[in-house]
């Protein structure tokens, strides 16, 4: 880490500590009901307990499992849509129409329909996740494919590559920065969507996932556990974005000097 980066990190840590201290002081001195807003120390203790007894990790694993299933399915569908769009003009117009139609629609808004069609089960959640991943993934992958430099395409043809060998050998790696950025956007949408969707399940009385954990504890007035659940959502989000995706980027697009240009 450079000195400037170390200083920035130190300052951010100080901001965080100050916020926690203010929170603690306000809830202890200001006679705030711990049922509405528990002190920071209580929340951290509850977080520690629910980590230790495996409750939070279990729910988080459940959320992540559904999310990864949905993302895998969404990415596969995105690849099919993109292949059609790259191959034919009708396919490109089909993709453009669908993405512009579904982009303004929050995936969670499909939850009532999803419950109607798939019932109270994992399928409903997966349907919503697929929807939140599919459009940003398709749009990015498509942009990646059409912006491959024509020279690179010709180089591949010059090596005698065509059809699937050209796609796998040249086009896919050349479009990789865009595909990765599509995956990042897809993950961000999917993670927010699944927490929200699980709360709808909470209403419906089924169970599962971090969202449900948060919702359930709010009913039982375990406000400290509600906060612990929110903390977990934040931590997992940061972990995936700053560790996992950063790690992939350092080993791929950064090493190759490639960027998605947006």
Shortest distance (Å) from residue 201 CB to other proteins: 42
By CB under 8 A, residue 262 contacts other proteins: no
Contact with other proteins (CB under 8 A): which of 149, 163, 164, 262? 149
By CB under 8 A, residue 257 contacts other proteins: yes
Show the tokens assigned to 10.
């130190």
Q: What is the largest CA-CA distance in the chain?
A: 76
Residue nearer to other proteins on the CB measure, 150 or 205: 150
Shortest distance (Å) from residue 163 CB to other proteins: 12
CA distances from 23 to 10, 42, 70, 222, 235 (A): 20, 11, 37, 18, 19
How far apart (Å, rounded) are the C-alpha atoms in residues 38 and 27? Answer: 7
Tell me the torsion sign for CA atoms 116, 119, 121, 122.
Answer: negative
Shortest distance (Å) from residue 5 CB to other proteins: 23
Size, binding site for other proteins by CB under 8 A:
21
Show the tokens assigned to 133.
């991943």
By CB under 8 A, residue 258 contacts other proteins: yes
How far apart (Å, rounded) are the C-alpha atoms in residues 199 and 81? Answer: 31
Show the tokens assigned to 256.
């190759």
Shortest distance (Å) from residue 93 CB to other proteins: 20
DSSP, collapsed to helix, strand or coil, labels residue 10 as: helix
By CB under 8 A, residue 117 contacts other proteins: no
Residue nearer to other proteins on the CB measure, 155 or 234: 155
Contact with other proteins (CB under 8 A): which of 30, 31, 116, 158? 158
**Site map (CB under 8 A) of other proteins, residues 26-65, x = contact:** ----------------------------------------
Q: Which of 183, 92, 102 is nearest to 142 (CA)?
A: 92
**Site map (CB under 8 A) of other proteins, residues 165-204, x = contact:** x---xx--xx-x----------------------------
Contact with other proteins (CB under 8 A): which of 89, 151, 163, 203? 151
Task: Find tokens 């307990």 and name the residue.
Answer: 49
By CB under 8 A, residue 237 contacts other proteins: no
Tell me the torsion sign for CA atoms 68, 73, 79, 82.
Answer: negative
Confirm if 29 and 21 have CB atoms less than 8 A apart: no
| Residues near other proteins, by CB under 8 A | 149, 151-152, 154-155, 157-161, 165, 169-170, 173-174, 176, 252, 255-258
């Amino acid at each position: 880490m450079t000195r400037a980066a170390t200083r920035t990190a130190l300052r951010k840590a100080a901001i965080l500590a100050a916020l926690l201290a203010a929170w603690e002081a306000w809830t202890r001195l200001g006679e705030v009901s711990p049922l509405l807003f528990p002190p920071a120390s209580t929340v951290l203790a509850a977080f520690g307990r629910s980590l230790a007894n495996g409750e939070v990790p279990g729910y988080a694993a459940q959320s992540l499992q559904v999310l990864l299933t949905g993302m895998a399915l969404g990415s596969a569908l995105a690849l099919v849509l993109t292949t059609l769009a790259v191959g034919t003009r009708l396919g490109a117009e089909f993709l453009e129409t669908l993405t512009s139609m579904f982009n303004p629609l929050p995936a969670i808004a499909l939850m009532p329909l999803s419950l109607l069609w798939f019932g109270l089960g994992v399928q409903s959640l997966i349907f919503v996740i697929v929807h939140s991943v599919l459009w940003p993934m398709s749009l990015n992958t498509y942009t990646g494919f059409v912006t491959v430099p024509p020279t690179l395409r010709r180089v591949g043809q010059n090596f005698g590559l065509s059809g699937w060998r050209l796609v796998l050998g040249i086009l896919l790696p050349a479009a990789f920065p865009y595909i990765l950025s599509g995956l990042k956007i897809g993950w961000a949408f999917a993670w927010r969507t699944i927490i929200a969707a699980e709360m709808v399940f909470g209403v419906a009385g089924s169970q599962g996932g971090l969202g449900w954990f948060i919702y359930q504890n709010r009913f039982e007035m375990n406000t400290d556990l509600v906060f612990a659940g929110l903390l977990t959502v934040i931590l997992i989000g940061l972990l995936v974005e700053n560790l996992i995706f950063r790690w992939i980027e350092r080993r791929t697009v950064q090493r190759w000097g490639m960027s998605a240009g947006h």
